[in-house]
Amino acid sequence: MVVGEFTEQADLLVIGGGPGGYSAAIRASQLGRNVTLVERGDIGGVCLNVGCIPSKALIELSSRFHELDGLAKRGVVTEDAHIDPVALVQTVTASVERLTSGVRQLLKAADVQIVQGEASFVGPNEVRVRASHETSRIKFKDCILATGSSPRELEGFVVDHQHILDSTDLLFAPVVRRDLIVIGGGYIGIELGSAHARLGTKVTILEMAPEILMGVEPEIQRTLRSVLKQMGVEVHTGIKVKGVKTTGDAVVVEIQAGSTVEQIRAGAVAVMVGRVPNLGDDLALGTAGVGIGPEGRLVVDEQMRTANPHVFAIGDIVAGPMLAHKAYYEAKVAAEAATGRPTGNDATVIPAVIFSEPEVASAGLGEQEARDRFGDDVVVARFPYRANGRAIVLGAAVGELKVVAAKATGRLLGVHIVGIDASNLISEAALAIELGATIDDLALTIHPHPTLSEMYPEAAEVAQGMPTHIATQRG
């Protein structure tokens, strides 16, 4: 039962407490605004609570467990290594609790007022917030929308958290399954499917598109396919999922490939077919004079400002990849713009990482995209992990670092990595592209030895035609 309704005033209102929302709130407070943050769920949003952080905790633990076989072959023998599912989930949960608690402390230190409830616009500068036992109205001078995204639903698959699962079930259920079907060969399906395969689950991945991880470089797709096969993961692409039924303790998924229809059985099926922005009717955007663009996202200018000059939007609800670090960046732009500072979203690249086995990371243009734009004025060079001393020492010789550059100027256009620690290596590429670095700059920058980062100057030397650690024929 809802009791009463009262009106409050807010200098700057932030709707959504995920990475974008809480970052915007903190930055705006640092710049002198009095900030009110409305969040309907847990502070930290999907990323901290059921996304980035718990998934990477699980992935890291599963990777360490999977490494034990390799260590035994290299002289480090471990007896009776096994998974304790309860302790595993407790570790994942602890990582979430530590970070969400930290974010709450940061918001408190920044004097951000947190309001629990679901906001909807009732005018161009006013929202109604519905909580469990009351509603309130908040009039604002400026507002930053950071409502994030939700898992895309698949018709006919109703999540029951027992046989039909979502990504959260794969993170926090204290059980190692015998077998699992994953519907979706995008980054979420590949990451979590790989993690559970490393824990000992027989995983089958079904993808409607002609290849997994559509959009990454073809070499990377091939490398991942090969590694997944070695891990015992079955990958089926070009698949149409026709339906699902539960029979006893198992589920049966009917799939179609071309004219062939077959059934696949497992203990559970996890649906991970992408995400959709949280821009539902409950938000009442039209009331605020904010419209949804043709691609289902809000249209904003370089300052993240919508058609309503006092309403800004960031993160998953605006154009671009649905990535937490993109939201962090846009949050600061919006907060600065809302305080009247000269600012704008002028990022040249947004690096992307897939925490697969091995990791994948990219920044800038892919090879085909570069050739589509610049024709023959493109040079591509690769350096394999197997020729890097540090990779060999780590027992991780699978993968490569690939650079794409303009042939005439040498300017770096893109970098694509598949291999161990790609997630950390890609930051150098993002900085280099932002600064307009060239192949010569990479080749002439001294990197410490022995490290994985040495692959940057090595790949640059390949582009120059004079590699040191790859055999070439003279002349």
Q: Does domain 5-151+276-338 have CATH number 3.50.50.60?
A: yes
Give the DSSP H/E element, type plus range, for residue 223.
helix 218-230
Mean pLDDT score across all residues of the chain: 95
Whether residue 6 is predicted with pLDDT greater than 80 in this model: the reply is no
- Single out the residue of 33, 127, 34 nearest to residue 340, CA to CA: 33
pLDDT in tens, 156-180: 999 999 999 999 999 999 999 999 9
Read off the pLDDT of each residue in 9-18 and give the average, rounded to a whole number: 97
pLDDT at 71: 84
User: Locate tokens 């790989």: which residue?
Assistant: 194
| Per-residue buried b or exposed e for 77-98, using 16+ beta carbons within 10 Å of the residue's own CB | eeeeeeeeeeebbeebeebbee
- Single out the residue of 415, 413, 322, 411 nearest to residue 361, CA to CA: 415
Q: Which residues are the active-site residues?
A: 449
pLDDT in tens, 245-288: 998 899 999 999 999 999 999 999 999 999 999 999 999 999 99
Using CB atoms within 10 A of its CB, is residue 168 exposed (0-12), middle (13-18) or buried (19+)?
Answer: middle
Whether residue 429 is predicted with pLDDT greater than 60 in this model: the reply is yes
Non-local CB neighbours of 159 within 8 Å, separated by 6+ positions = 165, 166, 169, 271
The size of the chain, in residues, is 475
The alpha carbons of the chain give a radius of gyration, in whole angstroms, of: 24
For residue 1, give the amino acid letter: M
Please count the other Cβ atoms lying within 10 Å of the Cβ belonging to residue 243: 12
Domains 164-273 and 358-464 share a fold: no
- What is the band of 81 on the pLDDT scale with cuts at 50, 70, 90? confident
pLDDT in tens, 309-333: 999 999 999 999 999 999 999 999 9
For the structural domain made of 164-273, what CATH number should be given?
3.50.50.60
Whether residue 78 is predicted with pLDDT greater than 90 in this model: the reply is no
Read off the pLDDT of each residue in 59-82 and give the average, rounded to a whole number: 87
User: Locate tokens 């026709």: which residue?
Assistant: 242
Architecture of domain 358-464: 2-Layer Sandwich (3.30)
Domain boundaries, the chain: 5-151+276-338, 164-273, 358-464
- What is the band of 1 on the pLDDT scale with cuts at 50, 70, 90? very low
Strand partners, 276: 150
pLDDT at 76: 86
DSSP state of 285: G
For residue 362, give the amino acid letter: S
**Backbone dihedral region for residue 386 (phi beyond 0: left; psi -120 to 50: alpha; all else: beta):** alpha
| Model confidence, pTM | 0.95
